[in-house]
Amino acid sequence: MSIREVATRAGVSPATVSRVFTRPDAVAPDTRDRVLAVAQELRYTPHPVARSLARRRTGNLGIVVPDIANSFSAVVTKAVQQEAARDGYALFVSGSDERAQDEEQWARAMAPQVDGLMLVSPLMSDEALRELADIPLVLSNRLLDALPAVVTDASDAVGHAVEHLHALGHREIVYLAGPDGFANTMRLRGYHGACRRLGVRPRELGPFNARFADGVRAADLVLATSATAVVAYNDEVAVGVLNRLADRGLRVPDDLSVVGVDDTSLAEMVTPRLTTVRLPAAESGRVGVRILLDLIDRRPAPAEPVRLAAELIVRSSTGPVRHGE
């Protein structure tokens, strides 16, 4: 209805109006100006839904994350939205709340109305993932077949954390495992590798949920051992440990050294400031979008998963082992 209004008012055909908004230089300067003037006057703007149908392109991207309110997910989402916006793409967002079923359902619902889909730490079955891949799809922190993926490899940096603690004199370093999955596997690999190299006996506790409350709970379990240092699955768990330690009147790092993973903003806000492994959350979002855009425009996507490195950030929650120990 609307492109026709503009067309008649400007004394041209709808096709010409369409051209003005798609390939402006395919139309004569004066008619273009005339059309533009009418469009402006009528506040006309091409209807995106009709456009999507005709073009078979929506101009939208979608992302499904484990938890929108989780600060790590939020940082990824923000970066994805910003990067997508640079190319004029709008973004659908949804959270799975860690339920594989909801996740799959959302992904399926989004698929037909987006040009590309990013799945962050997806839980769904390999089969479900493969079926979704008939549209441009990129996985974050999950590997499957040759599907495009961006993964954050924390293993080296977690290894550095262990070395760091070892250099401070720690010999009993416990790892607080998180929920089973790619992230935990990588951390564990780094932990075990470093322990082996350094001759430290590895010791795992957990698995815990990746939550503050679980960190609080974990603290007492750690204190029941002879450990002098702990590497937690993520910052939130680490901060839970910190909190419980403070309640029990223990001092960090004097009584126990604590390391987190993520380097969310939380890490710098707590007392003492948290030594942690920085994960390139925003970068992984940006890389994901770029892969998607390549796929959409039929440019080649990276054949191998893009591996992003993490780095150890030393702050005040780690220190020399206490002499008395």
Q: What is the DSSP letter of 238?
A: H
Return the number of the residue (112 or 300) whose C-beta is nearest a copy of itself: 112
Using CB under 8 A as the binding rule, whether residue 242 contacts a copy of itself is answered as yes
> What is the closest distance, in whole angstroms, from the C-beta atom of residue 186 to a copy of itself in the complex?
23
- Contact indicator for 231, 174 with CB cutoff of 8 Å: yes
- Contact indicator for 116, 138 with CB cutoff of 8 Å: yes
- Contact indicator for 139, 306 with CB cutoff of 8 Å: no
For residues 37-66, which are near DNA according to CB under 7 A?
44, 46-47, 50-51, 53-56
The item of DNA, a copy of itself, none sharing an interface with residue 268, based on CB under 5 to 8 Å by kind, is a copy of itself
The item of DNA, a copy of itself, none sharing an interface with residue 92, based on CB under 5 to 8 Å by kind, is a copy of itself
Tokens 């796929």 identify what position?
Answer: 295
> What is the closest distance, in whole angstroms, from the C-beta atom of residue 131 to DNA in the complex?
17
Q: Which burial class, exposed, middle or buried, applies to 211 when counting CB atoms under 10 A from its CB (0-12, 13-18, 19+)?
A: middle
Return the number of the residue (25 or 134) whose C-beta is nearest a copy of itself: 134
For residues 93-122, which are near a copy of itself according to CB under 8 A?
93-95, 106, 108-110, 112-113
DSSP H or E stretch at residue 106: helix 100-110
Tokens 């078979």 identify what position?
Answer: 56
Using CB under 7 A as the binding rule, whether residue 297 contacts DNA is answered as no
Q: Give the x/- contact pattern for DNA in 11-40, rule: CB under 7 A.
A: xxxxxxxxx-xx---xxx-xxx--------
- Contact indicator for 287, 152 with CB cutoff of 8 Å: no
Give CA–CA dist 200/196, Å, rounded: 6
Q: What is the CA radius of gyration of the chain?
A: 26
Return the number of the residue (6 or 194) whose C-beta is nearest a copy of itself: 6
Dump the DSSP string for 69-101: TSHHHHHHHHHHHHHHHHTT-EEEEEE-TT-HH
Q: Identify which range of 51-59, 118-126, 152-160, 301-309 contacts a copy of itself by CB under 8 A.
A: 51-59
Q: Which two tokens stand for residue 246?
A: 């403070």
Using CB under 7 A as the binding rule, whether residue 3 contacts DNA is answered as yes
Using CB under 8 A as the binding rule, whether residue 225 contacts a copy of itself is answered as no
Give CA–CA dist 1/21, Å, rounded: 16
Residues at the contact surface with DNA, assessed by CB under 7 A = 1-4, 11-19, 21-22, 26-28, 30-32, 44, 46-47, 50-51, 53-56
Residues at the contact surface with a copy of itself, assessed by CB under 8 A = 45, 47-50, 52-53, 58, 60, 67-71, 74-75, 77-78, 81-82, 85, 90-95, 106, 108-110, 112-113, 212, 236, 239-240, 242-243, 246, 265-266, 268-271, 273
